[in-house]
């Protein structure tokens, strides 16, 4: 029998990223929407609940490059850290990252199997980072991931599915801090699961 992939939430403490430490010290509510690894740098797309100009300037001083993409979304480039390099080059998919304390972040991950999770935890331990698994569950074929559910709920709440659509794809994507093509793909996959689940129950 084919094993289902896993969805896991893990807390990573002693996180070496100075930008994440600064975000926490400024008491900012933020989550990392996207990360891109370069040879010697790491680019983060970070969404903030609220970010004033003074806080933004402090972020600029703590990073190699900082650029406002919108009132709530900021592109931050750093020299990269061991955790980012490990997570984004390993056999997992990082769905969401949330800053929850000084040097502490929660990662929501999609993982192929338990062996991959154990390997990731070992590698984190090897670089001196404490990691704790908060939750883990198998993803059934028609089960929505946490990220898919979050986006569907927001789309519904903001009127994306109304007959007189109250928000466009691009507007919704901007609120979520992702590109319109990415949002379209997430919605397509999520709605396919919802429809398949409904049809399976109806048959």
Q: Where are the domains of the chain?
A: 7-138, 146-202
CA dist 8 → 35, 39, 43, 129, 132 (Å): 18, 28, 24, 17, 10
Question: What are the pLDDT digits (tens) for 163-196?
Answer: 888 999 989 988 887 778 888 888 888 888 888 7
Residue 44's nearest CA partner among 30, 61, 57, 58 is 30
Picking from 40, 54, 46, 33, the residue whose alpha carbon sits closest to that of residue 186 is: 33
Per DSSP, helices labelled H in the chain are 18-25, 53-61, 82-87, 114-126, 146-157, 169-176, 180-202
pLDDT given for residue 141 in this prediction:
67
Tell me: the pLDDT tens digits for 124-150?
Answer: 999 999 999 999 888 776 778 878 888
Q: Tell me yes or no: is domain 146-202 CATH 1.10.10.
A: yes
pTM over 0.85: no
Check residue 18 and give its pLDDT: 75
Q: What is the DSSP letter of 138?
A: E
């Amino acid at each position: 029998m084919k094993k289902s992939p896993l969805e896991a939430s893990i807390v990573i403490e002693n996180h070496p990223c100075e930008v994440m430490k600064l975000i926490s010290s400024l008491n900012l509510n933020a989550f990392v929407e996207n990360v891109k690894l370069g040879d010697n740098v790491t680019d983060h797309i970070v969404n903030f609940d609220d970010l004033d100009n003074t806080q933004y300037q402090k972020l600029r001083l703590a990073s190699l490059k900082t650029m406002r993409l919108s009132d709530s979304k900021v592109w931050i480039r750093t020299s990269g850290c061991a955790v980012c390099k490990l997570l984004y080059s390993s056999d997992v998919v990082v769905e969401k990252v949330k800053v929850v304390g000084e040097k502490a972040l929660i990662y929501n991950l999609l993982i192929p199997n338990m062996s991959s999770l154990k390997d990731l935890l070992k590698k984190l331990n090897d670089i001196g980072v404490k990691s704790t698994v908060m939750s883990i569950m198998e993803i059934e074929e028609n089960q929505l991931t946490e990220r898919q559910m979050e986006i569907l709920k927001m789309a519904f709440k903001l009127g994306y599915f109304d007959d007189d659509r109250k928000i466009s794809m691009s507007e919704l994507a901007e609120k979520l801090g992702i590109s319109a093509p990415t949002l379209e793909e997430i919605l397509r996959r999520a709605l396919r699961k919802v429809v398949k689940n409904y049809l399976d129950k109806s048959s």
